[in-house]
């Protein structure tokens, strides 16, 4: 404990933020009642926005990006955690308003942490990360709205990305028929190995919006937003549920009320950043039982701090397949 630690540091500059790997001291850490020796992080779409400056997600400068981390408690003044405990953090403004996970040390509020599930190593927890935890929140929303494996096919958009990959793996293990929507036709084998029953091209849903189309989906997990989300809603079956958690195509929703008032479709908004602890524990508990670890390994690769620093443009362009583990110690 003490001394210096290594981190990616974003600093305010003209245009895109400057970024470098820096040695910092404990005096640079922010307030919190738990200090964690971080071993792993990951990269999500929001991390790509922070690293590139493509959107103003960073609201404190300088900033250590990284909305996720996993590691071991070094010191704690929080009743729920002791030195040596394995912990996971997702969201809560880390990497945006609070120094984040692209560092070998973090100090945060203990209320933001959840225990590392016994089923996972720290690296596996970050193979899941916010993207996978969000996917599980989507699955829980479908279940709570009555979408069961026998209800009919479930559409997963942005299928080759992090949310999509985990959603496919979990849904298929639970017995759902999964239809994967992707713009990367070369990933068909990858998606089918994760459990997708069939693949449809992104263009099928990403174009001009129709208020209502043929009823196709019992449920939808959407990380894309905009026209894709509107068309997915318009083709959802009577009484179905659409879980919306992302905006890769855009923040707009150019749709119609028709699916809601004529087919009783439910649009379930999924927030992972400020979700209460009970919901987080439920999601991580279900991931421990319902996510095939062989499939998790197949969708994951590992990079260093220096390597993740250059990955922002690729994740924003949809070029990152599956999940990326960041070994912050390497």
174-225 per-position pLDDT tens digit: 999 999 999 998 999 999 999 999 999 999 999 999 999 999 999 999 999 9
Residue 5, both tokens? 């630690």
- Of the candidate CATH numbers 1.10.357.20, 3.40.50.720, 3.30.960.10, 3.40.1190.20, the domain formed by 129-269 belongs to 3.40.50.720
Handedness of CA 64, 69, 72, 76 (dihedral sign): positive
Domain ranges of the chain: 4-116+299-327, 129-269
Residue 181 · residue 200 · CB < 8 Å: yes
Span 91-119, pLDDT tens digits: 999 999 999 999 999 999 999 999 999 99
Superfamily of domain 4-116+299-327: Medium-chain alcohol dehydrogenases, catalytic domain (3.90.180.10)
pTM of the model: 0.95
In whole angstroms, what is the distance from residue 217 CA to residue 52 CA?
36
In whole angstroms, what is the distance from residue 104 CA to residue 37 CA?
6
Residue 2 has what pLDDT? 59
pLDDT above 80 (res 173)? yes
What residues contact residue 27 under an 8 Å CB cut-off, 6+ apart? none
């Amino acid at each position: 404990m003490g001394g210096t630690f290594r981190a990616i540091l974003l600093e305010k500059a003209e245009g895109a933020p400057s970024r470098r790997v820096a040695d910092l001291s404990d005096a640079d850490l922010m307030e919190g009642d738990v200090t964690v020796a971080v071993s792993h992080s990951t990269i999500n779409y929001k991390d790509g926005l922070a690293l590139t400056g493509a959107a103003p997600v960073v609201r404190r400068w300088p900033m250590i990006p990284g909305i996720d981390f996993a590691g071991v408690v070094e010191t704690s003044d929080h009743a729920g955690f002791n030195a040596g405990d394995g912990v996971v953090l997702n969201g809560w403004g880390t990497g945006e308003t609070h120094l984040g996970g692209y560092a070998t040390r973090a100090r945060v509020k203990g209320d933001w942490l959840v225990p590392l599930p016994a089923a996972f190593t720290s690296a596996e927890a970050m193979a899941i990360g916010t993207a996978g935890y969000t996917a599980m929140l989507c699955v829980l929303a479908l279940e709570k709205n009555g979408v069961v494996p026998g209800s009919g096919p479930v559409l997963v958009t942005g299928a080759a990305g992090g949310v999509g990959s985990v959603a496919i793996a979990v849904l298929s293990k639970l017995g759902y028929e999964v239809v994967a929507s992707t713009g990367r036709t070369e990933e068909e084998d990858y998606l089918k190995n994760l459990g997708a029953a069939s693949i449809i091209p992104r263009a099928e849903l990403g174009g001009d919006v129709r208020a209502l189309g043929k009823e196709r989906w019992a449920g939808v997990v959407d990380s894309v937003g905009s026209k894709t989300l509107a068309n997915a809603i318009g083709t959802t079956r009577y009484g179905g549920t659409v879980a919306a958690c992302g905006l890769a195509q855009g923040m707009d929703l150019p749709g119609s009320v028709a699916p809601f008032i004529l087919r009783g479709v439910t649009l379930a908004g999924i927030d992972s950043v400020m979700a209460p602890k009970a919901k987080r524990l439920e999601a991580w508990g279900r991931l421990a039982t319902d996510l095939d670890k062989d499939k998790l390994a197949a969708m994951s690769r590992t990079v260093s701090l220096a390597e993740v620093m250059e990955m922002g443009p690729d994740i924003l362009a949809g070029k990152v397949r599956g999940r990326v583990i960041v070994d912050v110690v390497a």
